[in-house]
Structure 1
Amino acid sequence: MSDRTAAVYFENPAYLGFIETQGAQIAEMAHAHGALCVVGADPISLGVLTPPADYGAAGSGADIVCGDIQSLGMHMQFGGGHAGYIATRDEAAYVMEYPSRLFGIAPTRVPGEYGFGDVAYERTSFAIREEGNEWVGTAAALWGITAGVYLALMGPQGMREIGESIMARSRYAALALDALPGVKAPLFAAPHFREFVVNFDDTGQTVAEINDGLRARGIFGGKDLSGEFPELGQSALYCVTEIHTQDDIDRLAHTMADVIQASGEVIA
């Protein structure tokens, strides 16, 4: 990192599932070099994790936060639907660059009444056509409404409970797999949210072989990481969410035990 660095981006939870506990230090390092701090945050985790804007001392947290809102009430549809979110400091330098229309609230002529309307209309494509900053899509807007309804129904307590439930289920799954011969889970000694890495080096099998065995028994296994992260050996990324029950997790563990036992190659 140097004074030529424009921005520092990191995810929390990280791509490999562990919770980044040094967010404040990363933000402070970025700001010390005049760079922005950008955090990719899973919104469903924010009922239990510190909001990125609050990393460190007041005013020293993330400048921009972004991510995917699929987890906020959107149905699973073989890869869709998806929509993103972005949040920044409430400063014109950031807000005027938003790639979307801006809506604000203002008092009307009726005392005590407020109305919503376009803000900074002069920056939109409606005013300056191809020079406009925003992109408007009905599909994304509809998913935004879905996420808004989900958050309203869940409330702060509901978001806390679902976050705690996901962490507990992820931990239960990791320990269940770690109990199998030759399996290490989670690979990293850190708290996790949803995803965690499972290592199969001591089973004598590759992730591809494990996944083939699971698929033959009706289970889709974890994402093979051996190509992306060869230093992690034969490791896969597993994910547990609020939709997985204890029976689902137990079935995965029992089935994986059968796959490992069938190979007969566990390294002592």
Structure 2
Amino acid sequence: MTESIVYPYIPNSVDSIKNEMMNEIGIESVEELFEAIPKHLRIEGRLNIPGPILSEIDLKRHVESKLKKNVSCDEYTSFLGAGCYNHYVPAICDEINGRSEFLTAYCGETYADHGKCQAIFEYTSLIGELLDMDVVGLATYDGGQAANTAIRMTNRITGRKEILVSENISKSLIMQIKEFCDFMTVKFVKCDSCTGNIDLNDLEDKISGETSCVFIENPTYLGSIEDKGMDIGRIAHENGAVFVVSVDPSSLGILEAPASYGADVVCGELQPLGMHMGYGSGLGGIIACRNEEQYIMNLPNHYYSLYENEKGEFGFARSLNSRTSYHSRENAVEYLGTNVGLWAITAAVYLSLMGPEGMYDLGKNIVYKSNYAREKLNGIDGITVLFDEGRPFKEFVVNFDKSGMKVEEINDWLLKEKIFGGKDLSQEFPQLGQSALYCVTEKTTREDIDNLAHALNKIIN
């Protein structure tokens, strides 16, 4: 029989309290709480893990010994991206989001949390200006959920169940879409081998009266800028489909906002706007739409609005709560939370600090460095930069087939040079051979890029 342990850091781990709780909800074992999880996803028996460390001082010593094994991007130069980026976080972002009235991610009651309501209203206003969109909802859990929320909206609007996406889309995002939108069908559109962008002819061949939406990433997952957005939007609308665009907000200081080339719904990841990289933390999803009833009433997020009462006094509060799971959980089209309120406020601080000129300088800086890095690496024997006719933003694909080496092997050698190499794409995109996705941001210096080129040349040649 397994010895019962009372964990000093886990509430209610005393057997008598656990039994009282189980009796209250009418179950005989904790296992009954997990019956909804399919059996093939569950591990039978106990996990082979060490016993608990019950002493606080021993636990602290153990955790610190594990943390010391980590190496951060402040110690090594990083060329990793693929959805989580090493952008500079201004000190004021941490100063503001560390304030006690903001630090909890939860939003509080509409009538009792006016400061946070105003702060999130400012977030929606700033994101609306950045996207050139009229309606912005509260941030979602992350960019992946925002994309899926947008896609599910299109199903409710059109009644259709087919999604058209680029074959170069993030495989992680596709996994989310197939799970989150499992009642819909994903169809892939070919991409041009020279630019990495969507093949318009293939899009026209595959779109039909069953297509709910055409979904694109701009910039794409592999770093190319989709410069035919107007044509993609036209094809979608001519066939009665909704045009959904996922954006990298750090690109919008120099790229046209998706609304200008016909986007109906815009989504994206907030992390580049003043959030540190973390193990799953610091993520939030952007979701915005046109100022039309069919979109507004199908966006299941909270809206934050400015109100004027009969005395002429202004205030801030949530509006149209009846659309959300907070109002009617059993009839909700999607379940949401306010746990990303902190990151919405952080993004508002970042955008307020940067302003239009700052966002323009950011985008310009990244484009210059992206092109410099691409040209520098393309000049090394054994390396080929793919999609070289496309226009890169922040990321680009480097192929090592001519070197005869695997990306995994190259990245191991780069670690010895205190460099995090690009993300290995050989499993996600086997058709690209031994390729990696390299990323540069405004934090990447010319010296960093030159050191990378020197290290790669030494490793390969």
> Given the two structures, how large is their TM-score scaled by the length of structure 2?
0.53
1:81 Cα deviation from its structure 2 partner: 1.4
Q: Any conservation in 2 of the 1:17–1:192 contact (CA below 8 Å)?
A: yes
Against the structure 1 CA distance between its residues 127 and 18, is the aligned structure 2 distance closer, same or farther, given a 3 Å change threshold?
closer
Against the structure 1 CA distance between its residues 231 and 126, is the aligned structure 2 distance closer, same or farther, given a 3 Å change threshold?
closer
Farther off after superposition, 87-96 or 156-165: 87-96
Q: What is the aligned partner in structure 1 of residue 210 from structure 2?
A: 4
Q: What is the aligned partner in structure 2 of residue 264 from structure 1?
A: none
Question: Partners of 1:87 and 1:116 in 2: how far apart?
Answer: 19
**Higher relative contact order at CA 8 Å, sep ≥6: structure 1 or structure 2?**
2
Q: What is the aligned partner in structure 1 of residue 318 from structure 2?
A: 118
1:155 Cα deviation from its structure 2 partner: 0.4
1:23 to 209, 213, 229: 229
Q: Deviations over 1:23-74 (max 9, x none)?
A: 111111111110000011111111111111101xxxxx01111010000000
Aligned ranges for residues 196-207 of structure 1 at < 5 Å? Answer: 196-207=396-407
Q: Any conservation in 2 of the 1:101–1:134 contact (CA below 8 Å)?
A: no
Q: What is the aligned partner in structure 1 of residue 449 from structure 2?
A: 249
1:177 to 374, 377, 395: 377
Q: What is the aligned partner in structure 2 of residue 87 from structure 1?
A: 288
Farther off after superposition, 132-141 or 160-169: 132-141
Letter in 1 for 2:296: V
Matched, 1:162 2:362: yes
RMSD: 1.8
Question: Partners of 1:227 and 1:24 in 2: how far apart?
Answer: 32
Q: Any conservation in 2 of the 1:187–1:199 contact (CA below 8 Å)?
A: no
Letter in 2 for 1:28: R
Aligned ranges for residues 1-268 of structure 1 at < 5 Å? Answer: 1-55=207-261, 61-111=262-312, 113-132=313-332, 135-261=335-461
Q: Any conservation in 2 of the 1:174–1:186 contact (CA below 8 Å)?
A: no
1:137 Cα deviation from its structure 2 partner: 3.2
Question: Partners of 1:213 and 1:252 in 2: how far apart?
Answer: 11
Q: Any conservation in 2 of the 1:102–1:120 contact (CA below 8 Å)?
A: yes
Q: What is the aligned partner in structure 1 of residue 158 from structure 2?
A: none
Farther off after superposition, 125-134 or 187-196: 125-134
Farther off after superposition, 163-172 or 200-209: 200-209
1:91 Cα deviation from its structure 2 partner: 1.5
Letter in 2 for 1:166: I
Residue segments in structure 2 that go unaligned for 5+ positions in a row:
1-206
Question: Partners of 1:170 and 1:109 in 2: how far apart?
Answer: 54
Say which SS state the counterpart of residue 211 (structure 2) adopts: coil
Q: What is the aligned partner in structure 2 of residue 266 from structure 1?
A: none
Say which SS state the counterpart of residue 299 (structure 2) adopts: coil
Say which SS state the counterpart of residue 139 (structure 1) adopts: coil
Against the structure 1 CA distance between its residues 216 and 79, is the aligned structure 2 distance closer, same or farther, given a 3 Å change threshold?
farther
Letter in 2 for 1:36: V
Question: Partners of 1:174 and 1:166 in 2: how far apart?
Answer: 12
Farther off after superposition, 132-141 or 94-103: 132-141
Say which SS state the counterpart of residue 221 (structure 2) adopts: coil
Question: Partners of 1:114 and 1:133 in 2: how far apart?
Answer: 32
Q: Any conservation in 1 of the 2:300–2:323 contact (CA below 8 Å)?
A: no
Percent of aligned pairs sharing the same letter? 50
Letter in 1 for 2:292: E
Against the structure 1 CA distance between its residues 123 and 204, is the aligned structure 2 distance closer, same or farther, given a 3 Å change threshold?
closer
Q: Any conservation in 2 of the 1:16–1:195 contact (CA below 8 Å)?
A: yes
Q: Deviations over 1:126-180 (max 9, x none)?
A: 4334334564534311100000110011001100100000111111111111121
Q: Any conservation in 1 of the 2:325–2:336 contact (CA below 8 Å)?
A: no
Q: Deviations over 1:99-149 (max 9, x none)?
A: 3222222323344x4322221233344433433456453431110000011
1:183 Cα deviation from its structure 2 partner: 1.2
Letter in 1 for 2:411: N
Question: Partners of 2:387 and 2:326 in 1: how far apart?
Answer: 52
Question: Partners of 2:382 and 2:272 in 1: how far apart?
Answer: 33
Question: Partners of 1:129 and 1:183 in 2: how far apart?
Answer: 54
Farther off after superposition, 196-205 or 226-235: 226-235
Farther off after superposition, 153-162 or 212-221: 212-221
1:231 Cα deviation from its structure 2 partner: 2.5
Say which SS state the counterpart of residue 6 (structure 1) adopts: strand
Say which SS state the counterpart of residue 388 (structure 2) adopts: coil
Against the structure 1 CA distance between its residues 165 and 204, is the aligned structure 2 distance closer, same or farther, given a 3 Å change threshold?
same
Structure 1 or 2, whichever has the larger Rg, is: 2
1:182 Cα deviation from its structure 2 partner: 1.7
Residues paired across the two proteins, number: 255
Q: Any conservation in 2 of the 1:18–1:192 contact (CA below 8 Å)?
A: yes
Against the structure 1 CA distance between its residues 128 and 209, is the aligned structure 2 distance closer, same or farther, given a 3 Å change threshold?
closer
